[in-house]
């Protein structure tokens, strides 16, 4: 998570915490491929009836709240950042939950971690937007990823996205079409549509800062006959023309948008100075 390193207490020992919470950290997710529901069930208990993923879990508060609310399901929290992994593991450990684990891994490889038809739901809350064109392959909602998620989802399984980023959302809508999913719902105001949803940490924080949360829930439809990955562009292409109309700057694109507005103003100013004086 951005900026977290700077706020780490001096005594924070990453390795020590990885060790301390080893019981709820699954370092070798490939070894559980096809067996998550049985392998993660408490000794002597029946296998979990569902496997759900919290992709890009951050500190794991959403994972824990969901796991508490749905004791029949196993929640697998995944994050690339070791610091997030230990925070999420710490929360699971403190809460005493037996139906949540953390994977230090990446959403790029879900089909290496999970077998076909093993996953019931993939929750994606406030994914890192990776706005630049050259980072587009890292967006967890691009069509290649959505095609990969199809491989691991059960029939009728879902992918649910929530984001504060209108550009990422509009980009993602196109990807959903390309990967042959069907919308179960889509809304540009999640809080209004689902006021009782369990919020993620970012949802709570950015919501309090005035973000409208955009979201959708999709399920695989007919697979595209000939899927060929298209080139993905910069998220700047998805911004509205009238930047000044934005009442909220999406997380991760604040400075880009501010620079664009400043440039436009400078240009406007330049133009204005060159307007011939009225006689």
Ligand X SMILES: C[S@@+](CC[C@H](N)C(=O)[O-])C[C@H]1O[C@@H](n2cnc3c(N)ncnc32)[C@H](O)[C@@H]1O
- What is the contact surface with ligand X in residues (CB under 6 A)? 1, 55-58, 78-81, 84, 106-108, 125-128, 140, 200-203
Contacts from 65-68 at CB under 8 Å and sequence distance 24+? 65/198, 66/123, 66/198, 67/92, 67/95, 67/97, 67/99, 67/100, 68/95, 68/97
29 or 107, CB closer to ligand X? 107
CA–CA separation, 54 and 62 (whole Å): 8
Q: Write down the least CB distance from residue 135 to ligand X, Å.
A: 10
45 or 193, CB closer to ligand X? 193
Q: Write down the least CB distance from residue 71 to ligand X, Å.
A: 21
The residue to which tokens 């549509």 are assigned? 193
38 or 254, CB closer to ligand X? 254
108 or 115, CB closer to ligand X? 108
CA distances (Å), 271 to each of 8, 259, 275, in order?
Answer: 48, 18, 6
168 or 176, CB closer to ligand X? 168
Structure-block tokens of residue 178: 């390309």
Q: Write down the least CB distance from residue 202 to ligand X, Å.
A: 3
Q: Write down the least CB distance from residue 57 to ligand X, Å.
A: 6
CA–CA separation, 211 and 203 (whole Å): 8
41 or 144, CB closer to ligand X? 144
CA–CA separation, 279 and 51 (whole Å): 75
Q: Write down the least CB distance from residue 241 to ligand X, Å.
A: 27
CA distances (Å), 250 to each of 1, 77, 112, 132, 192, in order?
Answer: 16, 24, 32, 14, 19
Q: Write down the least CB distance from residue 222 to ligand X, Å.
A: 27
CA–CA separation, 209 and 216 (whole Å): 21
């Amino acid at each position: 998570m951005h900026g977290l390193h700077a706020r780490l207490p001096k005594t924070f020992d990453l390795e020590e915490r990885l060790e301390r919470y080893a019981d709820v950290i699954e370092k070798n997710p490939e070894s559980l491929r096809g067996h998550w529901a049985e392998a993660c069930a408490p000794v002597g208990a029946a296998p979990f009836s569902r496997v759900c993923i919290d992709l890009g879990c951050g500190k794991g508060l959403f994972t824990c709240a969901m796991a508490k609310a749905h004791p029949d399901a196993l929640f697998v929290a995944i994050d690339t950042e070791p610091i997030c992994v230990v925070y999420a593991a710490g929360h699971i450990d403190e809460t005493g939950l037996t139906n949540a684990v953390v994977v230090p891994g990446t959403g790029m490889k879900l089909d290496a971690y999970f077998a076909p038809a093993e996953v019931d739901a993939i929750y994606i809350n406030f994914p890192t937007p990776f706005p630049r064109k050259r980072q587009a392959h890292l967006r967890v909602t691009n069509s290649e990823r959505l095609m990969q998620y199809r491989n691991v989802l059960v029939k009728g399984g879902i992918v649910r996205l929530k984001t504060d980023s209108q550009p990422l959302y509009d980009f993602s809508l196109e990807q959903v079409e390309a990967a042959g999913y069907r919308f179960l719902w889509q809304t540009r105001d999640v809080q209004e549509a689902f006021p009782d949803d369990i919020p993620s940490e970012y949802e709570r924080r950015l919501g309090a800062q005035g973000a409208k949360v955009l979201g959708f829930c999709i399920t695989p439809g007919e697979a595209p006959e000939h899927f060929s990955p298209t080139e993905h562009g910069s998220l700047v292409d998805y911004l509205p023309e009238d930047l000044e109309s934005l009442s909220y700057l999406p997380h991760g694109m604040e400075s880009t948008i501010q620079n664009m507005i400043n440039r436009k103003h400078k240009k406007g100013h330049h133009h204005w100075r060159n307007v011939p004086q009225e006689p």
